[in-house]
Every structure is written in structure tokens, then in C-alpha cells.
């Protein structure tokens, strides 16, 4: 059975091999070149690249870019569409330099451009060594300097398009033209009437944060015309939200935008580009449905539908077919990165068969033991009620001083033994009462991972986004424990207790029994979009180590970049500490304690060694040397 649904979300990049480990197929066109993820992590660990470790598979990124472009090429060919397709990658999805460098390199054969959503991102896009005429789409709120920079960069061999998100930006653009003497290439972002779908549905519609309403678009046209600049208006953009799970709202939005596009062309604008934004979803749970963690269409259908809708409008309005631009980010970036972390501890409520507390024990303990003994398939719900009630009673008896701490502990153990027996019976039954079904969650073990949810999968915490999480080895063994995942932070939100499932969301994840003295590695997959930059420094857990892994063409792999994670010194400096001064202050206090005879020379030496070494070390737990 495909317990972790790898066949769904993992295809074609991740599978499980004969050895029961996750296997990466970085380039699906060369399926024989595979990487055993567990071996890879062990190799990297042996070289001192400690976990948690973010692995970026460059070949996967190359394949994603190629896949989208080939799907559009096929759609254009089959529909005999006379215009072209140009993708732009939205820098906001992952601004890491090595990553963007790869996007630009792998995108070159397809003339993939970049989309900037802010001034810093514009600076990244302008510094990229794109191919001749490289497309740069300037979105986001802009000030005068942003627009002037964009116009000046048109003198590079780039096609820089300023997309108006607010009507005020038109004035900035006029001023920038007056100052630089460079005619702008302008786009407008439309607020569509068609509703988006899912979590980001509000990205469009009248009340959307961004974009121009129909009357504002008409105002832009009129004002450009007055200045004799209507030829500068060349692009129409909309963005219907990210992770759009159903193809229907996408089709509707493209149709509406294509009509606006046609109207603009009729009004005299030199319309050349129709930019349909992002939204192409990722199937995080592999269910191929319109559930928010999935999508009910594939990239080829998306390309067919976009091209067909645009073509239809062109024919209806007798237009020159525009270049179709997409700003897909998630669909390009998500698959290439995997976070691997180690389980460093666990907490299980397993007490097995209890001992008879005996006739002298407190009545409540005897009662719990009797409940335990009486548990049978026909009375699971009743037994669960009895046990819960007795546990509550034991707690109040303790509160009022009638039960000692040892007895309270005994009551607690008896209660968990009852739950265990009830849940064991429930597993063999077809119809299980609802309360008893929830026992799985109540009794779930907690597996502590050496990572931070806030740093590495912030969307799991912030918006309950689902990511595939699973052990990366021991997959030939049945995972007999049901667990939730806890991270290192001192925050009760630092946990994962919702997991992908084909039918619904699972509250517990099957994992393997933890074996003392043996390392247990888990992977969080499809986390390459948005997570790195949204991640924060909660509890000062910093950036994780990251590596870029690339097939070497000879059946092996090479590590093309190693980006060291934050050291404790770095995170302290983010919050304005000076580590040198901190060392001095600690040393002074240690000296004072030594003079008072409270600490020995050896202890001072040990303390200072730890303090100074820690400053240079990783923010996560490290293995003892």
C-alpha cells in the first residue's frame, strides 16, 4: 500500500526503492539516474553538513521549468495559436541567490523572465544575466525611484514592463518619463469580476487589494491618449490567487481578461502581452481533487485552457494574438526542495497491561482497574466514558488533598491502559463509535524533530497548509506508531498535527518505533515555494544548512553549492547583540564567582569553552562529537 501517498504527490520525482527508502528521480527523462535520499543525507552528514538540512535538487527545478514550457508549446501547436508563450518567474517565491541563478540558467532556453513584486526584488531581477530581450515584469506598489529605475533598465537588453497596480502609479510613470526621457512600456493589472477560489480568492474581485477597476483602466487609457502615449500600454495582467485547486475559475478569469484585453486593443492601445498571473497549483496530497491541498487538473490542461480561451477571444474580436505570459511560482519551485530532519526524542503514552492496585488501594484506583478488566468489543464507548470520568474524579480528589501524587500518577497510568485496550479492540472492528475514533489522536505519540516549524514550514503554522511529511527510510517496515510532530521551539504551536490523506486530513502520522541508538530521519517535501523567505527566527532558530544537489551525468551526483545555515552569532547579531561583548560580560561574571569561591578554574574554563564554541555553532541541536 502507498501509505504516504508518494505515488500521488511524488510522481515523477520521488518513489520508494527496494531498500525501503525514498528515492529521488531528479530528471524524469533519465529515470535510471536516481539518488537514495537516506544515503545522500548520511553522506552529507559525514562531511559535516548537519541536519536539519534543506536539499535543493537542481535537476527537478530544470524539469519543472521545461515541463511548463513544453505544455504551452504543445497547446500552442495543437490549437495553432499564432502568438507566443513567455513565462516569468515571480522572485517572491524564493529569492535565494543560488536558486534565482538556477532559475535564470535553466530558463534561458525558454526565455523565462522574472517578475518583481517590490523594489528589492526589482534589483534582483535587474542584476540577473538574462538572455537578450529578457522579460522583467514590475508588479507591486511602486514609488518614483522604482519606476525610474525600471525605465532606465530598458536601456539594457531587457524588456521591462511597468504594471500599474494603483492609479497613482500613472503619475509617477509620467514623471519618470519626463525625467529620464525614456518611454515606458506599461501594463495594467485588472481587478476581475470573476471570483478566484480557495484561500487567495480575494486576490481578485472589486474589493481586491491590488489592481485597477474597469473605470480606472478606462481612466488610464484616456490619460495616456491625452499625452499621445497610448502605444505605451501593451500588457494586461491579472492574478486570481495562488494554489487555485479547480480549473473552472481559471478558465473564467482568463476569458474575462481576454475580453478586457480585446477592448483595450479596440481603444487603440498597442496590446502585445496577456499576463495571466500565477495560481497554477501543486498537488500536495496527491488526491487530484479540488481540495485546497490539491488540484483537479494538470499542467497540460492548464496550458490548453489558457491558450484556448485567449485564442477564442482573438478570433471573436479579430485581434493579433498576444504573447501569453504566466507568473507561475509555486508550480516551478515547490518540488525541488526537501527538508530532512532527525527525530531526537519521543513521548508515548503506552503503559500496557496494568497491575491490580489491590484491595487496600484508593477506591478510584480499584474502579479504574475494574473498568480496564471489563473492556470488551461491545462496550467500548461505555468503558471510555467510565475511564474518563474516573480520571477526572482522581484529579479532583488530588486537588482537594484526598489522593497523593503517586496515586494520581497511578490513576493516570490506569486511564491510559484503558485507552490503549479500547483502541486495540477498535482496530479490529468495522464500526467504531465516534468518540473512540478520536482516541487515535488523543493517544498519539509525539515525535520531536530537530527543526523549527516557524523557520522551515511557516505556512503549516500560519494557514494550516499541508505538506507531505514522512520517514525517508525503514519503509519496508510497518510503521506501527501513530504520532504528531513537535519541533524544537518552546511554543505549543510548533507542531504538525495535520497530514495529507487521500480522503481527508489525517490528524496523526504513522511512523516507526523509535530505536534507541539509531537515527531516524524524516523528510518534509514540496516545500520549495514561499517557505524559505516566510520562515522566521522564532526562539532564534535560524536558517538551516542548504545544499544544491545535481546529477553529474555519470550515475552519481555533485553538491554544487553549500549554503551554511545561520550560526548563533549571526542570529544574535540580527537582534543587535555583539557576541564579543557578550563573551566579555560572561567572563566578568565567571571571574566574580571564582573570586567568591563559587566556581573552580576548571569550571570557568569549561563554561567559557562552551559559550565561545556555541557562538560559532549551528542554532539547532548538534550531535555530540
**What is the closest distance, in whole angstroms, from the C-beta atom of residue 546 to ligand PLP in the complex?**
20
**418: its cell numbers:** 484503558
Q: What are phi and psi of 241, to 5 degrees?
A: 110, 160
Range in contact with ligand PLP (rule: CB under 6 A) among 171-179, 235-243, 452-460, 495-503: 235-243
Query: Does residue 422 have a cis peptide bond before it, meaning omega lies within 30 degrees of 0?
Result: no
- Binding of residue 94 to ligand PLP (CB under 6 A): no
- Binding of residue 142 to ligand PLP (CB under 6 A): no
State the catalytic residues. Answer: 490
Distance (Å, rounded) from C-alpha 396 to C-alpha 400? 6
**What is the closest distance, in whole angstroms, from the C-beta atom of residue 380 to ligand PLP in the complex?**
46
Range in contact with ligand PLP (rule: CB under 6 A) among 238-246, 284-292, 452-460, 545-553: 238-246
The 3-state secondary structure of 164-189, one letter per residue: ECCCHHHHHHHHHHHHHCCCCCEEEE
**What is the closest distance, in whole angstroms, from the C-beta atom of residue 230 to ligand PLP in the complex?**
24
Among 8, 277, 354, 523, binds ligand PLP (CB under 6 A): 277
Among 198, 322, 329, 494, binds ligand PLP (CB under 6 A): 329
Are 529 and 518 contacting, i.e. CB atoms less than 8 angstroms apart?
Answer: no
Q: Shortest Cβ contact with ligand PLP: which residue?
A: 278
Residue 425 marked as a ligand binder: no
Residue 543 marked as a ligand binder: no
Residue 275 marked as a ligand binder: yes
Are 473 and 521 contacting, i.e. CB atoms less than 8 angstroms apart?
Answer: yes
Number of residues that bind ligand PLP (CB under 6 A): 17
110 closest CA partner among 144, 147, 76, 81: 76
**What is the closest distance, in whole angstroms, from the C-beta atom of residue 278 to ligand PLP in the complex?**
2
Of residues 519-548, those binding ligand PLP (CB under 6 A): 529
**What is the closest distance, in whole angstroms, from the C-beta atom of residue 242 to ligand PLP in the complex?**
3
Distance (Å, rounded) from C-alpha 500 to C-alpha 248? 24
- CB nearer to ligand PLP: give 330 or 421: 330
Sign of CA dihedral 261, 529, 97, 577: positive
Query: Does residue 52 have a cis peptide bond before it, meaning omega lies within 30 degrees of 0?
Result: yes
- Binding of residue 111 to ligand PLP (CB under 6 A): no
Among 330, 335, 498, 512, binds ligand PLP (CB under 6 A): 330
Distance (Å, rounded) from C-alpha 249 to C-alpha 254? 9
- Binding of residue 494 to ligand PLP (CB under 6 A): no
**373: its cell numbers:** 478488566
Residue 277 marked as a ligand binder: yes
- Binding of residue 465 to ligand PLP (CB under 6 A): no
- Binding of residue 10 to ligand PLP (CB under 6 A): no
Range in contact with ligand PLP (rule: CB under 6 A) among 95-103, 152-160, 329-337, 542-550: 329-337
- Binding of residue 90 to ligand PLP (CB under 6 A): yes
Are 527 and 334 contacting, i.e. CB atoms less than 8 angstroms apart?
Answer: yes
Are 386 and 372 contacting, i.e. CB atoms less than 8 angstroms apart?
Answer: no
Are 529 and 330 contacting, i.e. CB atoms less than 8 angstroms apart?
Answer: yes
Are 68 and 281 contacting, i.e. CB atoms less than 8 angstroms apart?
Answer: no
Q: How many helices (H) and strands (E) does the chain have?
A: 22, 21
**What is the closest distance, in whole angstroms, from the C-beta atom of residue 7 to ligand PLP in the complex?**
24
Element (H, E) at 522: strand 521-524
180 closest CA partner among 160, 202, 207: 160
Range in contact with ligand PLP (rule: CB under 6 A) among 276-284, 285-293, 405-413, 470-478: 276-284
Range in contact with ligand PLP (rule: CB under 6 A) among 98-106, 325-333, 337-345, 589-597: 325-333
Element (H, E) at 446: strand 445-449
**What is the closest distance, in whole angstroms, from the C-beta atom of residue 268 to ligand PLP in the complex?**
26
- Binding of residue 354 to ligand PLP (CB under 6 A): no
Annotated binding site for substrate: 274-284
Name the site residues for ligand PLP (rule: CB under 6 A). Answer: 90, 93, 115, 139, 239, 242-243, 277-280, 327-331, 529
Amino acid at each position: 500500500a502507498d501509505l504516504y501517498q508518494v505515488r500521488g504527490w511524488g510522481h515523477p520525482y520521488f518513489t520508494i526503492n527496494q531498500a525501503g527508502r525514498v528515492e529521488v528521480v531528479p530528471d524524469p527523462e533519465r529515470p535510471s539516474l536516481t539518488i537514495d535520499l537516506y544515503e545522500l543525507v548520511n553522506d552529507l552528514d559525514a562531511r559535516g553538513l548537519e541536519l536539519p538540512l534543506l536539499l535543493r535538487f537542481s535537476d527537478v527545478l530544470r524539469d519543472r521549468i521545461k515541463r511548463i514550457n513544453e505544455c504551452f508549446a504543445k497547446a500552442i501547436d495543437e490549437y495553432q495559436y499564432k502568438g507566443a508563450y513567455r513565462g516569468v518567474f515571480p522572485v517572491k517565491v524564493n529569492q535565494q541567490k543560488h536558486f534565482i541563478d538556477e532559475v535564470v540558467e535553466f530558463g534561458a532556453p525558454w526565455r523565462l523572465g522574472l517578475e518583481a513584486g517590490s523594489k528589492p526584488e526589482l534589483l534582483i531581477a535587474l542584476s540577473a544575466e538574462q538572455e537578450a530581450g529578457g522579460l522583467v515584469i514590475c508588479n507591486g506598489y511602486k514609488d518614483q525611484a522604482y519606476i525610474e529605475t525600471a525605465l532606465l533598465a530598458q536601456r539594457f537588453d531587457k524588456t521591462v514592463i511597468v504594471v500599474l497596480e494603483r492609479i497613482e502609479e500613472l503619475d509617477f510613470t509620467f514623471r519618470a518619463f519626463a525625467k529620464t526621457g525614456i518611454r515606458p512600456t506599461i501594463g495594467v493589472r485588472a481587478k476581475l469580476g470573476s471570483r478566484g477560489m480557495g484561500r487567495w480568492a480575494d486576490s481578485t474581485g472589486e474589493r481586491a487589494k491590488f489592481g485597477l477597476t474597469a473605470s480606472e483602466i478606462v481612466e488610464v487609457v484616456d490619460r495616456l491618449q491625452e499625452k499621445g502615449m497610448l502605444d505605451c500600454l501593451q500588457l494586461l495582467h491579472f492574478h486570481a490567487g495562488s494554489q487555485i485547486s479547480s480549473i473552472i475559475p481559471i478558465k473564467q478569469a482568463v476569458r474575462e481578461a481576454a475580453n478586457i484585453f480585446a477592448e483595450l486593443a479596440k481603444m487603440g492601445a498597442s496590446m502585445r502581452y496577456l499576463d495571466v498571473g500565477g495560481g497554477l497549483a501543486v498537488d500536495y496530497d496527491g488526491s487530484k481533487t479540488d481540495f485546497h491541498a490539491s488540484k483537479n487538473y494538470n499542467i497540460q490542461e492548464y496550458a490548453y485552457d489558457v491558450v484556448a480561451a485567449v485564442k477564442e477571444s482573438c478570433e471573436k474580436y479579430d485581434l493579433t494574438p498576444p504573447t501569453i505570459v504566466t507568473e507561475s511560482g509555486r508550480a516551478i519551485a515547490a518540488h525541488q526542495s526537501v527538508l530532512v530532519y532527525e527525530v531526537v526524542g519521543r513521548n508515548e503514552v503506552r503503559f500496557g497491561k496494568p497491575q491490580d492496585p489491590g484491595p487496600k488501594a484508593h477506591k478510584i484506583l480499584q474502579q479504574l482497574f475494574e473498568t480496564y478488566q471489563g473492556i470488551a468489543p461491545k462496550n467500548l464507548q461505555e468503558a471510555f466514558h467510565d475511564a474518563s470520568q474516573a480520571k477526572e474524579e482522581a484529579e479532583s480528589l488530588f486537588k482537594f488533598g484526598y489522593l497523593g501524587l503517586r496515586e494520581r500518577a497511578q490513576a493516570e497510568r490506569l486511564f491510559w491502559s484503558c485507552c490503549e485496550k479500547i483502541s486495540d479492540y477498535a482496530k479490529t472492528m468495522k464500526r467504531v463509535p465516534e468518540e473512540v475514533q478520536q482516541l487515535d489522536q488523543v493517544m498519539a505519540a509525539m515525535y520531536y524533530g530537530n527543526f523549527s516549524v516557524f523557520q522551515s514550514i511557516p505556512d503549516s503554522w500560519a494557514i494550516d497548509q499541508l505538506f507531505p511529511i514522512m520517514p525517508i527510510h525503514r519503509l519496508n517496515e510497518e510503521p506501527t506508531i501513530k504520532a504528531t510532530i513537535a519541533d524544537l521551539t518552546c511554543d505549543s504551536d510548533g507542531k504538525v498535527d495535520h497530514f495529507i490523506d487521500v480522503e481527508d486530513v489525517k490528524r496523526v502520522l504513522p511512523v516507526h518505533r523509535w530505536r534507541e541508538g539509531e537515527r531516524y530521519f524524516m523528510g518534509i517535501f514540496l516545500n520549495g515555494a514561499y517557505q524559505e523567505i516566510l520562515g522566521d527566527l522564532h526562539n532564534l532558530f535560524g536558517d538551516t544548512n542548504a545544499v544544491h544537489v545535481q546529477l553529474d551525468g555519470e550515475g552519481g551526483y555533485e553538491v554544487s553549492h553549500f549554503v551554511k545555515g545561520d550560526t548563533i552569532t549571526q542570529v544574535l547579531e540580527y537582534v543587535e547583540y555583539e557576541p564579543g561583548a557578550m563573551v566579555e560580560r560572561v567572563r566578568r561574571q565567571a571571574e566574580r564567582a571564582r573570586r567568591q569561591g563559587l566556581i573552580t578554574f576548571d569550571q570557568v574554563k569549561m563554561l567559557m569553552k562552551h559559550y565561545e564554541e556555541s557562538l560559532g555553532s549551528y542554532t539547532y541541536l548538534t550531535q555530540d562529537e
